[in-house]
Amino acid sequence: MQNPLSNATQYITTLAIRFWQQEGTLQTYLDFLLSEIDPMLSRKRNVAEVIQIIDETADTKTFVLRPSSRWQGFVAGQYINVETEINGVMIRRNYSISCAPKLFREQQLISITVKKIEGGRASTHLHERLIVGDTLTIGLASGDFTLQQPISTQPPAKPLFIAAGSGITPIMSMIKQIKEETPEQSISLIYYVNNPQALIFESQLQTLSKSMPNFSFYPHFTESEGYITSQQLQLDCPDIAERTLYLCGPQGFMKSASAHCLDLGLAPERMHQESFGSYVPANFQPGTAGQIRFLNSGKYIESNGKKTVLELAESAGLNPKYGCRSGICHECKCTKSTGQVLNRLTGELIPDDQTHIQACISIPVGDLSIESL
């Protein structure tokens, strides 16, 4: 026999969910009131409270966050969108989650690790302004740069992780997951940074290498050793052709690393990668200064020929949609009305008759009009 009280509770819960799923004025107003009482009570936004801030290196910090109860968890390797207001303008950036899923399952905590970028508005704000007790608006976890499940009919390939700089953050989450679930698994990490002082998670990685019997950790310092080579990879991982590769770092580094791995016999279908930041070719020349008009909003801003359309739109106070910010996902695609743009990845002019452009990699050359963004 069903419990009448249980049925009533379920009915009320269903009504409450339907109420908050509607986008009416009443819902918006009530959510505003709840947010004024406590941002964590918001029913329209996922909010996270800053619980702890950890200095990893001179320019990298880990922010431990407690998301509100509505947040749904993540898979190791995924990222979240972080939204914060800077001088009246909402700025959004994607940051990889650097902890293991177990931390969220057991303590309802997550962490993001952020490197301060010179001239970067979001990373500078997080480093210099954010304190324990502050709140951030975060999105649901996204991304498919995650550990691949072994196919039952085939033996699982041993993971090889290759990272550069802050590209270690999603990989750190994956390694921690492996430690919790299959600590005996054979894994290797090859990690490139400029110098020993730039080694993010150094103490954690050393601890992991001691506590996991089959974890091999190879740090490399480009200022003294130079950039990645096939010889280094072959020496660190002689069975590289039999591995599953997880590669993360700046696009220039990833381009070199993936080419070396292919040369050493790694199958393309065993390569999984995610890039951080935009690759700027060595021969890139900034565009010409001009005025950028966003026709739908009526706003405009001056361009110095160095910033992308996406960066200029945000500086103008707009809130454009975007994803990777590096020319991969096409989430920021917009329509050009007049003017010319330069492809930041190739350094080449986009043809005049191509009206659909990617805002995150398009740099205006002189005056430009954007029809929709």
What average pLDDT does this structure show over 240-257?
A: 92
**In this predicted model, which residue has the larger pLDDT, 288 or 61?**
61
Helices of type H across the chain: 4-21, 25-37, 101-107, 121-128, 168-181, 202-211, 222-225, 230-236, 251-263, 309-315
Rounded CA-CA distance 110/97 in Å is: 7
Structure token digits, residue 371: 């029809």
pLDDT over 50 (residue 79): yes
What average pLDDT does this structure show over 184-200?
A: 96
Burial degree of 120 (CB within 10 A; 0-12, 13-18, 19+)? middle
Structure token digits, residue 350: 């986009």
- Helix/strand/coil (H/E/C) assignment for every residue in 347-372: CCECCCCCCEEECCCEEEEEEEEEEE
pLDDT over 80 (residue 156): no
pLDDT of 15: 66
Q: How confident is the model at residue 287 (pLDDT cuts 50, 70, 90)?
A: low
What average pLDDT does this structure show over 363-367?
A: 90
- Helix/strand/coil (H/E/C) assignment for every residue in 305-318: CCCCHHHHHHHCCC
The 10s digit of each residue's pLDDT in 21-36 is: 666 666 676 776 667 7
Rounded CA-CA distance 31/137 in Å is: 14
The 10s digit of each residue's pLDDT in 306-335 is: 888 988 998 888 888 776 677 766 778 899
pLDDT over 60 (residue 241): yes
**In this predicted model, which residue has the larger pLDDT, 68 or 148?**
68
Rounded CA-CA distance 12/96 in Å is: 37
The 10s digit of each residue's pLDDT in 119-146 is: 788 899 999 999 999 999 999 998 889 9
Rounded CA-CA distance 248/223 in Å is: 20
CA distances (Å), 26 to each of 17, 18, 47, 127, 204, in order? 14, 13, 21, 37, 48
pLDDT of 153: 47
The 10s digit of each residue's pLDDT in 202-217 is: 999 999 999 999 999 9
pLDDT of 19: 67
| Residues above pLDDT 90, as percent of the chain | 52
pLDDT of 1: 58
Rounded CA-CA distance 324/223 in Å is: 28
The 10s digit of each residue's pLDDT in 105-125 is: 999 999 999 999 887 888 999
Question: Residue 231: helix, strand or coil by DSSP?
Answer: helix
pLDDT over 80 (residue 281): no
**Residue 115 · residue 165 · CB < 8 Å:** yes
pLDDT over 90 (residue 187): yes
**Residue 312 · residue 285 · CB < 8 Å:** no
pLDDT of 282: 46
Q: How confident is the model at residue 252 (pLDDT cuts 50, 70, 90)?
A: confident
Residue with the two structure tokens 């430690």:
179
What rounded mean pLDDT belongs to the chain? 86
**Residue 105 · residue 76 · CB < 8 Å:** no
Rounded CA-CA distance 123/117 in Å is: 6
